[in-house]
Amino acid sequence: MAERLETGSRKLLGRLRDAMAGDVAGQARLDKITSLIADSMGCEVCSVYLFRDEDTLELCATEGLNQDAVHETRMKLGEGLVGRVARRREVVNTPDAPQAKGFRYMPETGEEVFSSFLGVPVQRLGDALGVLVVQSRTAREFSADEVYALEVVAMVVAEMTELGAFVGDNAAMSARHSQPAMFRGTVGQEGAAEGHVWLHEPRVVVTNPIADDPVRELERLQGAVEQLRVGVDKMLEIAGSQDKDQQQVLEAYRMFANSKGWMRRMEEAISNGLSAEAAVEKEQSLAGARMGKVTDSYLRERLSDLDDLSNRLLRILTGQGADTGAEMPANPILIARNIGPAELLEYGRNLKGIVLEEGSVGSHAAIVARALAIPLVVHASRISTEALNGDHIMVDGEQGMVHLRPDDSVVSAFRDKIAMLAAAQERYASIRDLPAETLDGAVLSLQMNAGLMADLPSLPNSGADGVGLFRTELQFLVRNQMPRRSELVALYARVLDAAQGKRVIFRTLDIGSDKVLPYMKPNDEPNPAMGWRAIRVGLDKPGIMRMQLQALIRAANGRPLTVMFPFVAQLDEYRIARRMVDKTLAAEERLGHVLPSSIEIGTMLETPSLAFAPYKFFEEVDFLSIGGNDLKQFFFAADRENERVRRRYDTLNVSFLSFIEGIVERCEMSGTPLSFCGEDAGRPVEALCLAAIGLRSLSMRPASVGPVKSLLRRANLQDLRKVIADARHRGEMSVRPAVMEWLRSQGA
């Protein structure tokens, strides 16, 4: 029986391929396909439903149902049995459809006379394209072999849909990846950019879903799997026994690569007429659907390993490596599911914009994007499956919107917006050399955050008074190996040269959390953001910190030097670190190096504990800088990288503002210079409120200096303080609505 079905399925695929071959319109092809499938499966009905938009399915062709219903019958995702197949990406097989859970009667189709129903999802590479259904009058459950055969056909229909075999006039049959599409995400970095798509991981294209010669396809599959196994073994060898985590992942890879079940299922798909590539994809889609339902994080990870392995196998089979040989287009806009800070730094300033399907505003990749002043939108769901390399794209980092393949009206409106932003930049340039002084005479020092050599030329143009935060770890992240001391000396000296006497606050290495150095063994920590990071690493492994301090002292070479320690949580951490500086200074002097003309040593305030440190701490430290990104995540117990929780808590929340105010008061009492260098310092409204509660020094990305200065110069802090106080008295949770209302009334 199985043998018979196998040849039957191959025959059907052969007939499908013939149906594809002619120069026929998409609709005619789809009609032909439904009649072929109905005929060869011995069913009265076969229908194809395709997505018309993200959540509407449309009947696009049918054999057996009322023809008038074609392109008329539509259902929402999840609606009826067809909608259920699409939403859950799983097979529905029932002998008695009208009695099945979720059945929805569509009178125009005339389907009430058909009892049994079998629906399978049409999908490829995690992208749901539609649903394929067969129905018959007799009440019977379809056999496992029949279900399998229909899944094989659905795989071919998916590949053909992707290749544009069914393109017609109707919206549901429009060519894929050709229509304008808009994505709404979250603002990661403001600014607007127009350019062309550059996919971080290009999609594999399969042009031959059906194969005549199963023997040859089996050989191809076996050859590719062998290559894959050798590759995984090699990776394991390179990883060695040092790195337990990496080894575990690779062992899981090896297990899958050698899995008999995986291989058998792919071979079976080939015996049923699929090409090796389509067989791999079929398995991958099934695993993908399973992944959507699994909640156990370990299992999810393993399924995603399998997904990764399938992608590798597809690349081997199609010869489409990660490097497809495609040239990066002019004005590239990077599209990725997610990306780490080190990978992003490799692209560097070449990029005009970045759009991530996942990602988060608080991540260090986002900070790198901000440092590079590249517009960034995160959480643009489905964009990596919709965009193709080279597509025209516009990124609106102000609104968190992305326009893919925009039509003319969007293009012209967007270009107007770019021109408006450019005009604003010019306005900011005109106040560059004016002080950041409010209408009631408060003068603020605005500084810039930096971390890349490339940032430094922006210092004179940004209107900043100096560098309030130089993130030294970025230099470590861009390399493949630990930089040598001599390299660091040269680099820090260049930074000081470029600053032309303006103060640069060098923050010692803040590694750990999501800033993982590629050449350092990652630690298996359940919660890295609260783990062994920053000063904790520096104090436990003083070698690197000492080397960095030596490099800074030598780079200063008689000039003033300012050093800041990250993530200090209690007084003794600061004292030990400071002693390290003193000892290093003494040793450098003994070695005959010129010492800095002056040295200031401060810390970041990133943990609530430090705000309540003994008063002595405030007296001993030369200055403090509030790292609002970390401080806020620990204050609200809300992961800065988890968009879902991060967005719940407003910086202008009364509790948080009161907390900052407390820090300002303690610093005023002890006379400790205080600044704020988290991302909020670069947001004009937030910056204004920080100024209102007493901060007089803010450090931000260079592109923010203009907008922040411009708003400060138009505001009266005394009035704003009253607005904030009134909102507090009214018991409001956040002062933002009141502040925004006040700004509007001021015409700001």
Does 706 sit near Mg ion (CB under 5 A)? no
- Choose one: 133-141, 186-194, 212-220, 626-634; the region binding ligand PEP (CB under 6 A): 626-634
Nearest distance from C-beta of residue 448 to ligand PEP, angstroms? 12
Strands 192-199 and 332-336 come out as parallel
Strands 401-404 and 392-396 come out as antiparallel
**Out of 627, 684, 702, 707, the residue judged to bind Mg ion by CB under 5 A:** 627
367 binds, among ligand PEP, Mg ion, none (CB under 5 to 8 A by kind): ligand PEP
Name the helix (H) or strand (E) containing 139.
Answer: none
Residue 379 phi, psi dihedral angles, 5° rounding: 60, 35
Nearer to ligand PEP, 452 or 738 (CB): 452
Pair 86, 57: CB distance under 8 Å: yes
Instruction: Give the angle subtended at the CA of 554 by the CAs of 552 and 560, to the nearest 5°.
Output: 70
- What is the C-alpha separation between 450 and 469, in angstroms, rounded? 6
Does 630 sit near Mg ion (CB under 5 A)? yes
Does 630 sit near ligand PEP (CB under 6 A)? yes
Nearest distance from C-beta of residue 308 to ligand PEP, angstroms? 29
Strands 436-437 and 401-404 come out as unpaired
Residue 616 Cα to chain centre, angstroms: 43
- Choose one: 263-271, 334-342, 538-546, 598-606; the region binding Mg ion (CB under 5 A): 598-606
Question: Cβ of 171: how many Cβ atoms within 10 Å?
Answer: 14
Q: Quote the DSSP letter at residue 300.
A: H
Length of the chain: 748
Which is the catalytic residue, given 71, 364, 379, 403? 364
- Choose one: 184-192, 223-231, 318-326, 624-632; the region binding ligand PEP (CB under 6 A): 624-632
Nearer to Mg ion, 406 or 627 (CB): 627
Pair 331, 306: CB distance under 8 Å: no
**Contacting residues for 319 by C-beta, under 8 A, at least 6 apart:** none
- Residue, CB closest to ligand PEP: 627
Nearer to ligand PEP, 49 or 567 (CB): 567
Nearest distance from C-beta of residue 530 to ligand PEP, angstroms? 13
**Out of 627, 684, 706, 707, the residue judged to bind ligand PEP by CB under 6 A:** 627
Interface map 310-329 toward ligand PEP (x if CB under 6 A): --------------------
| Stretch 360-379 residues interacting with ligand PEP (CB under 6 A) | 367
Nearest distance from C-beta of residue 627 to ligand PEP, angstroms? 3
The site that binds ligand PEP (CB under 6 A) totals a number of residues, namely 11
Joined together, the tokens standing for residue 465 give 């008074």
Q: Is 364 a catalytic residue?
A: yes
Joined together, the tokens standing for residue 308 give 């990764």
Does 677 sit near ligand PEP (CB under 6 A)? yes
**Out of 185, 596, 628, 702, the residue judged to bind ligand PEP by CB under 6 A:** 628
Nearest distance from C-beta of residue 411 to ligand PEP, angstroms? 36
Instruction: Give the angle subtended at the CA of 390 by the CAs of 387 and 396, to the nearest 5°.
Output: 65
- Please, which residues bridge with residue 602 across strands? 564
Nearest distance from C-beta of residue 263 to Mg ion, angstroms? 47
- Choose one: 43-51, 323-331, 369-377, 627-635; the region binding ligand PEP (CB under 6 A): 627-635
Pair 685, 737: CB distance under 8 Å: no
Nearest distance from C-beta of residue 628 to ligand PEP, angstroms? 5
Nearest distance from C-beta of residue 677 to ligand PEP, angstroms? 5
Nearer to ligand PEP, 384 or 629 (CB): 629
**Out of 471, 554, 666, 701, the residue judged to bind ligand PEP by CB under 6 A:** 471
Residue type, 93: N
Pair 688, 638: CB distance under 8 Å: no
User: Among candidates 386, 342, 373, which has minimal Cα distance to 516?
Assistant: 342
Cα dihedral angle (500, 506, 512, 517), rounded to 10 degrees?
A: 40
Query: 144-163 and 2-21 helices cross at what angle (nearest 10)?
Result: 20
Residue type, 152: V
Nearer to Mg ion, 109 or 675 (CB): 675
- Choose one: 181-189, 285-293, 538-546, 599-607; the region binding Mg ion (CB under 5 A): 599-607
- What is the C-alpha separation between 442 and 209, in angstroms, rounded? 70
Query: 485-499 and 542-556 helices cross at what angle (nearest 10)?
Result: 40
Does 332 sit near Mg ion (CB under 5 A)? no
- Choose one: 104-112, 172-180, 601-609, 702-710; the region binding Mg ion (CB under 5 A): 601-609
Nearest distance from C-beta of residue 531 to Mg ion, angstroms? 13
Nearer to Mg ion, 111 or 514 (CB): 514
Pair 640, 630: CB distance under 8 Å: yes
Does 678 sit near ligand PEP (CB under 6 A)? yes
- Choose one: 164-172, 228-236, 492-500, 628-636; the region binding ligand PEP (CB under 6 A): 628-636
Q: Is 43 a catalytic residue?
A: no
Nearest distance from C-beta of residue 631 to Mg ion, angstroms? 8
Residue 622 phi, psi dihedral angles, 5° rounding: -75, -30
Pair 123, 91: CB distance under 8 Å: no
- What is the C-alpha separation between 606 and 470, in angstroms, rounded? 16
Question: Cβ of 142: how many Cβ atoms within 10 Å?
Answer: 21
Interface map 596-615 toward ligand PEP (x if CB under 6 A): ----------x---------
Residues making contact with Mg ion (CB under 5 A): 606, 627, 630
Cite the active site residues: 364, 677
Residues making contact with ligand PEP (CB under 6 A): 367, 469, 471, 510, 606, 627-630, 677-678
